[in-house]
Amino acid sequence: MELFKAIVESLSDGVYFVDQERRIIFWNKAAEEISGYSAAEVMGSHCYHNILTHIDARGKNLCQEGCPLSKTLSDGRFRQEEIYLHHKDGHRVPVSTRVTPVRDDEGRIVGAVEVFVDNSPREAIATRIRELEALALIDPVTRLANRRYLERELDRFLREMVRRRLGVGILFLHVDAYERIRAEHGTDAGKRILRVVAETFVRNARPFDLFGHWEEGLFVGFIRNVHSHALFNIAENMRMLVEKSFFLEGDTLVHSTLSIGATMLHPEDTAEAALGRARRLMEESRHAKGNRVTIDLKVVPVA
């Protein structure tokens, strides 16, 4: 038994066991690293009690409906899913999960084991952070690219679009509850919600896309090699993931939504024109009560 535990603890995949009541009875070191929750914090708790709170690609809370663990405990079938778990810091982490039943000597189901793998582009993230730190182009609160770097990169993206006929999109993103969270919970909570949003972008963006912190409560994203519909889908995915992210401030659950403006770069654009258009679209989302994506659907030829 001790050898088995040592082997499971050495894995780079997160592993946890639950009993028939979905009570967590084992939580390995990789599960701690991926989720941010220590074994001491979760052992004995039910997995659906504000711990991982899995959601699917549509934002459905699987702990309340459609939980793979619950289904496997009922029917004994192996399951594999691509989902998002809730990190202790508040953001969402994309993971691949595999769920297998645990049976006793008589073949009765007595629990289940879930193995999960972090699908974040971790190496690309670490490399980009090191590069930005070396050039003093990183925002100290969010650990994303700062405004100076974003402005510089937009000029490069414009040249690349013209030279390579590559579709490039811009997202302008407003954290809807930022001012309210600061007023109700203080400056530190305001910084924390910014970090939750930033980490959601980092964990779920494609490695060759770029997100940065523009100013307090505002982010900008440059999305490469897309058309309008793909840009909308990327923006909508980020909107959903932030809506489903949260952290606890004392006993209070703190979360926000995003108002997003999305537009493709146009061949005749200047940097100021493109950013201005994206920002106006973001303001349309804000005026429509937030938590939505407004996109400019002008067709831009890329071939």
Residues 90-146 have pLDDT tens digits of 999 999 999 999 998 888 999 999 999 998 876 666 666 666 665 667 888 998 999
Q: Return the closest-CA partner of residue 271 out of 188, 162, 196, 189.
A: 162
Cα(254)–Cα(41) distance, integer angstroms: 20
Q: Which two tokens stand for residue 6?
A: 């040592």
Structural contact between residues 80 and 97, judged by C-beta atoms closer than 8 angstroms: yes
Give the mean pLDDT of 279-303.
83
Give the mean pLDDT of 40-54.
83
Query: 135 versus 255: which is more confidently predicted?
Result: 255
CATH 3.30.450.20 location in the chain: 2-118
Q: Residue 52: what pLDDT?
A: 79
2-118: which CATH topology? Beta-Lactamase (3.30.450)
pLDDT 10s digits, 146-183:
998 899 888 888 877 767 677 889 999 999 999 999 99
Cα 41–chain centre separation: 22
Q: Residue 302: what pLDDT?
A: 42
The percentage of the chain sitting over the pLDDT mark of 90, rounded to a whole number, equals 63
Q: Residue 80: what pLDDT?
A: 93
203 has pLDDT over 80: yes
Q: Which two tokens stand for residue 232?
A: 């909308």
Q: Residue 162: what pLDDT?
A: 67
Query: Environment class of residue 214 by beta-carbon count within 10 Å: exposed (0-12), middle (13-18) or buried (19+)?
Result: buried
Q: What is the CATH number of domain 122-295?
A: 3.30.70.270
Place of tokens 């049976």: 103
Cα 159–chain centre separation: 29
Instruction: Say which range, 3-12, 24-33, 203-212, 255-264, has the weakest mean pLDDT.
Output: 3-12
240 has pLDDT over 90: yes
Cα(130)–Cα(126) distance, integer angstroms: 6
Q: Residue 298: what pLDDT?
A: 62
Q: What angle do CA 88, 94, 97 make, to 5 degrees?
A: 100
Instruction: Kindly list the distances between the CA atom of residue 290 and the CA atoms of 39, 119, 179, in Å, as whole numbers in the listed order.
Output: 37, 29, 14
Instruction: Say which range, 43-52, 106-115, 227-236, 272-281, has the weakest mean pLDDT.
Output: 43-52
Q: Return the closest-CA partner of residue 153 out of 141, 165, 168.
A: 168
- Give SS3 for 8: helix
300 has pLDDT over 80: no
Cα(97)–Cα(95) distance, integer angstroms: 6
301 has pLDDT over 50: no
The amino acid at residue 120 is S
Q: Residue 297: what pLDDT?
A: 75
Give the mean pLDDT of 240-264.
94
Cα(120)–Cα(111) distance, integer angstroms: 29
